[in-house]
């Protein structure tokens, strides 16, 4: 808002002081009549309120254009009559523009707030669905994931290089023990030589095959 300051009293006329005006707008020590130019100069030279900020040269020129043709009585009325002051203030283009921007901003903010309120039921419904998922579906999924993790660990353990080498060693030893058992049967005459030879040959072939595989795997992983 633009405020006008520093208007002087006419010697022959007392100007009532309004509570909304600064006490400096009517000085009892001044005997010099006010003129439009002196009132405008005082208004422009007077420090502005913090909420308004200083007038730019363009704004000041615009105010001077609006006030230059007003009489002393009209200027005095602007300083003493709040309604007249407000009517003049709101007729200024810069003020109308500022008020229009403020109204647009208020409307946009109000519309955004209304849209947010309209979405509140949907937001609550989504929150309830998330709660259901966390309490039921998520718990089941976590349990299944735990089972799968254990299965993965078991598979990795079974097919780890050290496990595979150990299993190949055990298979090789089993074939060797079977050969020794069969040879013991021959010595004890529990089996005929004709039946012993093909079985023993087959077991030794298995043993040597497993032995070679074990050595190759050991060399690869070693």
pLDDT in tens, 34-71: 444 444 444 434 434 334 456 677 766 777 777 777 78
Element (H, E) at 202: helix 193-221
Length of the chain measured in residues: 222
Q: How many Cβ atoms are within 10 Å of 127's Cβ, its own excluded?
A: 10
Q: What is the DSSP letter of 2?
A: -
Q: What is the DSSP letter of 48?
A: P
- CA dist 4 and 90 (Å) reads 14
Q: Which residue has the higher pLDDT, 56 or 78?
A: 78
- CA dist 81 and 16 (Å) reads 10
The answer to whether residues 165 and 221 belong to one domain is yes
Q: What is the tally of helices (H) and strands (E) in the chain?
A: 9, 0
Q: Which domain holds residue 64?
A: 23-92
- CA dist 3 and 50 (Å) reads 12
The residue from 158, 175, 207 where one domain ends is 158
**Vertex 206 angle, CA 204 and 210, to 5°:** 115
Are 25 and 32 a contacting pair, CB within 8 Å? no
> What are the structure tokens assigned to 70, written together?
């007003």
The answer to whether residues 31 and 88 belong to one domain is yes
Q: What percent of the chain has pLDDT over 90?
A: 20
**Residue 214 covered by a domain:** yes
The answer to whether residues 70 and 129 belong to one domain is no
Domain count of the fold of the chain: 3
Are 183 and 200 a contacting pair, CB within 8 Å? yes
Which residue, 57, 2, 64, is CA-closest to 36? 64
The answer to whether residues 204 and 175 belong to one domain is yes
**Residue 209 covered by a domain:** yes
**Model confidence at 104: pLDDT above 90:** yes
Please report how many Cα atoms fall inside a 13 Å half-sphere around the Cα of residue 73, on the Cβ side: 0
Q: How many Cβ atoms are within 10 Å of 41's Cβ, its own excluded?
A: 13
The answer to whether residues 195 and 165 belong to one domain is yes
The residue from 158, 178, 213 where one domain ends is 158
**Residue 1 covered by a domain:** no
Q: What is the pLDDT of residue 102?
A: 92
**Residue 111 covered by a domain:** no
Query: What integer best gives the mean pLDDT of the chain?
Result: 75
Three-state SS at 73: helix
Q: What is the pLDDT of residue 59?
A: 67
């Amino acid at each position: 808002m633009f405020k006008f300051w520093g208007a002087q009293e006419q010697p022959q006329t007392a100007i009532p002081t309004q509570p909304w005006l600064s006490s400096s707008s009517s000085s009892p020590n001044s005997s010099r009549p006010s003129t439009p130019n002196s009132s405008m100069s005082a208004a422009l030279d007077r420090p502005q309120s913090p909420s308004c900020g200083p007038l730019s040269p363009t704004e000041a020129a615009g105010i001077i254009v609006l006030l230059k043709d007003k009489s002393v009585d009209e200027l005095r009325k602007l300083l003493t009559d709040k309604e007249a002051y407000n009517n003049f203030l709101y007729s200024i283009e810069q003020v109308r523009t500022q008020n229009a921007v403020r109204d647009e901003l208020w409307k946009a903010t109000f519309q955004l707030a209304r849209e947010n309120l309209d979405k509140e039921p949907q937001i609550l419904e989504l929150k309830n669905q998330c709660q259901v998922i966390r309490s039921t579906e998520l718990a089941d999924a976590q349990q299944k994931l735990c089972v799968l993790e254990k299965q993965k660990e078991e598979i990795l353990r079974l097919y780890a290089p050290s496990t595979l080498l150990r299993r190949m060693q055990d298979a090789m030893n089993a074939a060797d023990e079977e050969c020794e058992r069969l040879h013991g049967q021959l010595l004890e005459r529990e089996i005929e030589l004709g039946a012993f030879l093909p079985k023993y040959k087959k077991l030794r072939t298995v043993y040597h095959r497993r032995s070679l595989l074990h050595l190759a795997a050991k060399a690869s992983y070693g």
